[in-house]
């Protein structure tokens, strides 16, 4: 690897919140992940009966019932899920650090698509009922920055509201931008993450038309198969994850749940959907993250892979990990959470990052379900059989977390935490 030159100032994570197909909060999601449960199920609504793909990962109905009825009517599901996760993260952070000037709290909430439900519903209203039937709030409900705006409004935050839209890398890019804002002292605390609600007729048909989705309608829990030999596409899911971050030096003693050391980025410049097949540019993002974190591949105790279960994407990522980590890739365990969660698109990076820090904190890496037998071309150490106890030869555990998006957006993050097992 190149000589290290740009060491990032790491930031602490003092709160988090998530809603996912596996739970209404971060704790229940982690418990389900560790237990090896799947959040993928068959769709039973009438609107799904004629679709070619009728499986997905949906947030439990109970998750959105706490939202005020007026807010439910005036916001898209994408914004609703983001707000639920942000409220949890804000409450957790506030309890840990006390009061903070709202003018110094920023929101960075990414999404891959934005208000797809609203777009689909209002297009149907226009087509079937004419202009008079279109909701006057259509545009503010469907715009991608609606979720970030709703969070800032709901929590009374004035330090800036930002929305990275980089497809499936959006949540991870939000975390990178948060670190940049903190290091540049533009904010003292940042609520960063991603949200997505793509599970409707338009979302499912659009992705299935490009043959990106698994067609295992008869076996939903086995459909998402990252790195598996017989994988046939990803499973579309919804959810949101938000992390509360602040500068390490400003963090009250004992309040840090974990740390984000550094982020790396690159772009494939190859294809709007397909990854660069050799993983050359993805490996640049990985090496950039390690460089900025000031660590070597051998310092990693785990990798959390993007691994969606697509034939080309999984191969490209495995090649990038082998290229970047070298011989260390033989031993570093690799966990792919999308086997259980499905693909949360713009929310994936943040929800998975929370899971990653929980794994580091507990000193155990969950197994990757549905991936056995592995594709023989996947030359990395995927955790297919059982959870793996993380090595504890150092006081601080380091994890590499990858997120890649349509358009060739590559984000890699180095996370760390202290293990309970030490």
Instruction: List the structure tokens of 76.
Output: 């898209």
| Catalytic entry in 24, 117, 301, 343 | 343
What's the rounded Cα separation, in Å, for the pair 32 and 43?
A: 20
Q: Is 409 in the active site?
A: no
Give how far Cα 3 sits from Cα of 7, 9, 158, 298, 406, Å: 11, 18, 39, 16, 30
Q: Is 168 in the active site?
A: yes
Q: Hunting for tokens 């914004």 — which residue is that? A: 79
The pairing of strands 105-110 and 161-162 is parallel
Which run of H or of E encompasses 171? helix 170-183
Helix boundaries (H) for 24-169 = 26-35, 69-74, 77-97, 116-129, 138-142, 146-155
What's the rounded Cα separation, in Å, for the pair 422 and 419?
A: 6
Provide the β-strand partners of residue 333.
Answer: 381
| Residue 148 CB coordination number (10 Å) | 27
The pairing of strands 397-405 and 302-304 is parallel
Helices (H) and strands (E) in the chain, counts: 12, 15
Angle at which helix 280-293 crosses helix 311-325, to 10 degrees, equals 40
| Residue 386 CB coordination number (10 Å) | 9
Q: Is 270 in the active site?
A: no
Instruction: List the structure tokens of 123.
Output: 């297009």
What's the rounded Cα separation, in Å, for the pair 337 and 407?
A: 22
Q: Hunting for tokens 């992940």 — which residue is that? A: 33
Query: For the sheet containing 11-19, what is the strand order?
Result: 161-162, 105-110, 189-196, 239-247, 11-19, 258-267, 409-417, 397-405, 302-304, 333-335, 381-382
Instruction: List the structure tokens of 69.
Output: 């009825």
The pairing of strands 302-304 and 333-335 is parallel
Are 266 and 31 in contact by the 8 Å Cβ rule? The answer is no
Residue 60's nearest CA partner among 18, 115, 16 is 18
What's the rounded Cα separation, in Å, for the pair 160 and 174?
A: 13
Are 200 and 117 in contact by the 8 Å Cβ rule? The answer is yes
| Catalytic entry in 24, 78, 168, 263 | 168
| Catalytic entry in 117, 162, 306, 409 | 306
Catalytic residues: 168, 306, 343
């Amino acid at each position: 690897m190149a000589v290290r030159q740009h060491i990032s100032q790491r930031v602490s994570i003092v709160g988090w919140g998530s809603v996912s197909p596996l739970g209404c909060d971060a704790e229940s999601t982690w418990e389900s992940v560790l237990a090896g449960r799947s959040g993928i199920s068959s769709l039973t609504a009438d609107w799904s009966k004629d679709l070619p793909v009728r499986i997905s990962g949906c947030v439990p109905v109970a998750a959105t019932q706490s939202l005020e009825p007026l807010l439910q009517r005036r916001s898209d599901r994408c914004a609703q899920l983001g707000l639920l996760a942000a409220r949890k993260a804000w409450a957790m952070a506030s309890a840990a650090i006390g009061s903070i000037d709202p003018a110094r709290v920023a929101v960075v909430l990414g999404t891959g698509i934005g208000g797809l439900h609203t777009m689909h519903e209002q297009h149907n209203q226009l087509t079937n009922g004419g202009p008079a039937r279109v909701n006057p709030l259509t545009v503010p409900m469907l715009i991608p920055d609606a979720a970030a705006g709703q969070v800032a409004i709901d929590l009374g935050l004035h330090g800036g509201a930002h929305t990275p839209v980089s497809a499936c890398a959006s949540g991870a890019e939000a975390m990178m931008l948060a670190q940049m804002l903190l290091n540049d002292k533009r904010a003292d605390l940042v609520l960063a993450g991603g949200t997505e609600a793509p599970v409707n007729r338009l979302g499912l048909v659009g992705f299935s038309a490009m043959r990106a989705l698994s067609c295992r309608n008869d076996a939903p829990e086995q459909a998402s198969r990252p790195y598996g030999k017989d994988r046939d596409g990803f499973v579309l899911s919804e959810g949101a994850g938000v992390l509360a971050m602040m500068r390490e030096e400003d963090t009250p003693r004992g309040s840090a749940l974990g740390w984000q050391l550094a982020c790396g980025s690159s772009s494939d410049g190859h294809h709007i959907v397909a990854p660069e097949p050799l993983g050359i540019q993805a490996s640049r993002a990985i090496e950039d993250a390690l460089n900025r974190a000031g660590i070597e591949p051998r310092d990693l105790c785990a990798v959390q892979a993007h691994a969606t279960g697509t034939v080309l994407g999984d191969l490209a990522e495995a090649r990038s990990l082998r290229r970047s980590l070298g011989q260390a890739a033989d031993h570093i365990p690799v966990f792919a959470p999308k086997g259980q969660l499905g693909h949360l698109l713009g929310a994936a990076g943040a929800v998975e990052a929370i899971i990653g820090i929980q794994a580091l904190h507990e000193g155990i890496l969950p197994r990757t379900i549905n991936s056995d037998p592995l594709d023989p071309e996947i030359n990395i150490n995927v955790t297919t059989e059982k959870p793996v106890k993380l090595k504890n030869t150092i006081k601080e555990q380091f994890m590499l977390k990858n997120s890649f998006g349509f358009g060739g957006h590559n984000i890699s993050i180095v996370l760390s935490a202290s293990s309970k097992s030490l």
